[in-house]
Amino acid sequence: GGARVASLFPRAVGREIAGIIGCGAGLSTGLAPGDLGAAAFVGLAGLADFNYAEMKALDLAMDASGPPHRFLFFEGRHEWPGAAVCSRAAAWLEVEAMKGGRRPKDEALARAVVGRELDEAAAFESAGRVFWAAERLEAARRLAEGVCDLPDVAVRIEALKGRPEYARFLAAEKKRDRRSAGFRDEFGRAFGALEGDEAGGGAAVGLVLREAGVGLLKKEARGAKTVEDRSLASRLLFDMSFAAQARAVDLYRAGDLVRAAAYLDVAIAACEEGLAREPGLHFDRACVAALLGDKKRALDFLASAVAKGFDDVAALETDPDLASVRDTDRFRELVKK
């Protein structure tokens, strides 16, 4: 929630501020771009971030009404980017401050900052990623206005936009946007099998995973040809896993443990390996299994949680859901591990 809090900072201090950097999320609910109260805005988001679509939409909204802005999309998830990306965000704000009269002009600094955009554009073009090359050149052109001259950039941008790879990327991105927009409805319909199963949903887990195409999505997330397609698959998997987990929490609180277990099985199956939330999913599933009296499965899920990095010893030793397995040798071994 740091980005959303940052967007409210001008209101908190009662004055306009020089700039905001929002990483992984957009503005606070109800806050319009034109009311931001900052002289400039930088948005940072991983291509596989579950808030990627929100950040793309905010970029367009700020084009229509908002302060000068720059959105940097990097290869990653809902996480901090590397130091180089963070440095570029701060440097971009420095040049915008020059253009707005908030700091003295420094042509050498401005050229260095613009030069980074030009260098990355050249790297993208060499790698055949024409859309991103054009995007970086356009960013360089906008940033350079009023502080340094880039006489040939407009011609280079038009040349890149005229290439067939550019048109193919735009078509592929529209297809990705449509797929993303419709996916929640797809897995929502699939979840109906868990809700409608009189036995509590467990028998329908495999059906839900097949109908939502979880196996295919995991293959795409690992090995799709482009980083954009791999990132889309990761976003869709996260969306489904998170929704299943949220429904499991509601059912757990309502006492419907069998159906909560089914939803957690879906959440675990749709969660990519290595995510920070993965150990917690296995721990929660262990708790539900223990409450249902399935000690073996409870201990199996606890073992997998520990193997995946779960290290909250206090939760293991005090969570009342695990009372039925706490007197076993295997449980004590897991605590020790």
226 pLDDT more than 90: yes
Give the pLDDT mean for 274-286. Answer: 96
User: Tokens in use for 37?
Assistant: 């109260």
22 pLDDT more than 90: yes
Give the pLDDT mean for 248-255. Answer: 97
Assess contact for 58 and 27: CB atoms under 8 A. yes
Confidence grade of residue 228 (pLDDT, cut at 50, 70, 90):
very high
Looking at the chain, the whole-number percentage of residues with pLDDT higher than 70 is: 100
19 pLDDT more than 80: yes
Q: Phi/psi at 196 (nearest 5 deg)?
A: -85, -10
Q: Phi/psi at 78 (nearest 5 deg)?
A: -80, 85
The pLDDT, as a whole number, for residue 118 is 94
pLDDT, tens only, 44-74: 999 999 999 999 999 999 998 889 999 999 9
Confidence grade of residue 247 (pLDDT, cut at 50, 70, 90):
very high
The pLDDT, as a whole number, for residue 182 is 93
Give the pLDDT mean for 221-236. Answer: 96
Give the pLDDT mean for 103-132. Answer: 94
Structure letter (DSSP) for residue 68:
S
- Burial (CB count <10 Å: 0-12, 13-18, 19+), residue 173: middle
pLDDT, tens only, 125-161: 999 999 999 999 999 999 998 888 888 899 999 999 9
- Using the structure block, give the residue that is written with the tokens 């340094």: 148
pTM: 0.90
Give the pLDDT mean for 198-210. Answer: 87
The pLDDT, as a whole number, for residue 297 is 97
Residue 234 CB contacts under 8 Å (≥ 6 apart), including other chains: 48, 77, 221, 272
Confidence grade of residue 98 (pLDDT, cut at 50, 70, 90):
very high
The pLDDT, as a whole number, for residue 154 is 92
- Residue 72, H or E segment: strand 69-74
Give the pLDDT mean for 164-172. Answer: 96
Assess contact for 94 and 103: CB atoms under 8 A. yes
88 backbone φψ class: left, alpha, beta (φ>0; ψ -120 to 50): alpha
Mean of per-residue pLDDT scores for the chain = 94
Confidence grade of residue 278 (pLDDT, cut at 50, 70, 90):
very high
The pLDDT, as a whole number, for residue 69 is 95
Residue 44's SS3 state is strand
Q: What is the dihedral of CA 142, 148, 149, 153, to 10 degrees?
A: -40
9 pLDDT more than 80: yes
